[in-house]
């Protein structure tokens, strides 16, 4: 079907923005893999170069963070509700924080992106197809850095710092009373799902077992060499819908 004049105007607007829009970099990996440390180091480095950087964290949308926090605390969520509320969080941050920042030319560092939901929820037994559908239309990151570590290492690191929380430990699906034992079982599934996703979505892997400064050097190299994944080819629906909802600045 031929596209309407309005749709063609939108296409042209998005194509023009491609040259000046910011880069979207996602940090993924199991708990304890050092994503947050590396994200903070990269942010400082980028800012020292004069880049404008925005960070966004998982489950941090002001719209649902309070109600999600309470329901997690009282363990009131089923697998579907847990998954859907995280999809709400993601969609809201995408529309109100990530896309506006990218449009304005800022670099966005996502401390976990939708792949976290895909890995965790698939590990909980939900279909990947349905999950991808719930998160669509997808805004593809330009670079996904996956901090790889074995389930045993993740469990060891978590055990040395804190006791995992109920849903983090996957106790809702394993039924194991001991949080750490449950985490050991659950993270095994999560890492398997991450490894599958890594092949499908072409993650760039960094060895989370290496020294922090070595990882940072590698991350810098990856970011310096990163190329934009063209919006018109990969993320048109997500960008168009956002523009349709709220006129972006400098349009």
Partner 1 sequence: MDRQIQTAARLIAVDGSRGADLARSADRLAAALRAQGVECVISRWDASGLFGELAQTSDRTSASPRTLSLVYAADLAFRLRWEIRTALGAGTVVIAAPYVETAIAFGAGCGLPEQWLRELLRFAPRPDVQCLARERKRDRGWQPRLDRGYPEYCAALFAPSSPRLVSKRAREGMIGALAAAGGRRGYELSGSGVERAVTAIRRSRPAAASPRPSRPRIARK
**In the complex, least distance from residue 190 CB atom to partner 1, rounded to whole angstroms:** 13
Nearest to 15 by CA among 245, 234, 244: 234
In this complex, which beta carbon is closest to partner 1, that of residue 189 or of residue 216?
189
In this complex, which beta carbon is closest to partner 1, that of residue 123 or of residue 145?
123
**In the complex, least distance from residue 82 CB atom to partner 1, rounded to whole angstroms:** 9
In this complex, which beta carbon is closest to partner 1, that of residue 52 or of residue 81?
81
Nearest-angstrom CA–CA distance, 124 and 195: 16
SS3 159: helix
Nearest-angstrom CA–CA distance, 66 and 54: 22
In this complex, which beta carbon is closest to partner 1, that of residue 80 or of residue 221?
80
Peptide bond into 119 cis (omega under 30): no
**In the complex, least distance from residue 239 CB atom to partner 1, rounded to whole angstroms:** 14
Nearest to 35 by CA among 55, 62, 60: 55
Which residues are CB-neighbours of 201 under 8 A, at least 6 positions away?
A: 115, 144
Nearest to 218 by CA among 233, 228, 207, 209: 207
**In the complex, least distance from residue 129 CB atom to partner 1, rounded to whole angstroms:** 8
Q: Which residues of the chain form contacts with partner 1 (CB under 8 A)?
A: 61-64, 66-67, 78-81, 84-85, 87-88, 91-92, 95-96, 125-127, 130-131, 133-134, 136, 173, 241, 244-246
**In the complex, least distance from residue 60 CB atom to partner 1, rounded to whole angstroms:** 12
Handedness of CA 76, 169, 88, 250 (dihedral sign): positive
In this complex, which beta carbon is closest to partner 1, that of residue 133 or of residue 214?
133
């Amino acid at each position: 079907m031929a596209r309407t004049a309005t749709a063609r105007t939108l296409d042209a607007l998005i194509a023009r923005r491609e040259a000046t829009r910011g880069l979207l970099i996602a940090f993924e990996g199991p708990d304890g893999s050092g994503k947050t440390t590396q994200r903070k180091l990269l942010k400082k480095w980028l800012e020292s170069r004069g880049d404008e950087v925005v960070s966004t964290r998982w489950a941090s949308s002001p719209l649902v963070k309070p109600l999600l926090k309470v329901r997690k605390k009282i363990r009131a969520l089923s697998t579907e509700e847990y998954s859907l509320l995280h999809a709400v969080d993601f969609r809201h941050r995408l529309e109100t924080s990530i896309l506006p920042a990218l449009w304005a030319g800022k670099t966005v560092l996502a401390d976990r992106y939708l792949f976290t939901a895909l890995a965790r929820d698939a590990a909980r037994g939900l279909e990947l197809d349905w999950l991808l559908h719930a998160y669509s239309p997808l805004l593809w990151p330009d670079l996904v850095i996956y901090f790889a570590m074995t389930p045993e290492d993740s469990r060891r690191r978590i055990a040395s710092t804190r006791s995992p929380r109920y849903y983090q430990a996957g106790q809702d699906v394993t039924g194991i009373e001991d949080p750490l034992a449950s985490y050991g079982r659950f993270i095994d599934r999560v890492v398997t799902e991450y490894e599958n996703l890594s092949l499908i979505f072409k993650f760039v892997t960094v060895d989370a077992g290496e020294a922090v400064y070595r990882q940072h050097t590698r991350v810098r190299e990856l970011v310096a060499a990163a190329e934009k994944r063209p919006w018109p080819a990969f993320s048109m629906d997500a960008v168009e819908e956002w523009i349709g909802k709220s006129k972006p600045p400098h349009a």
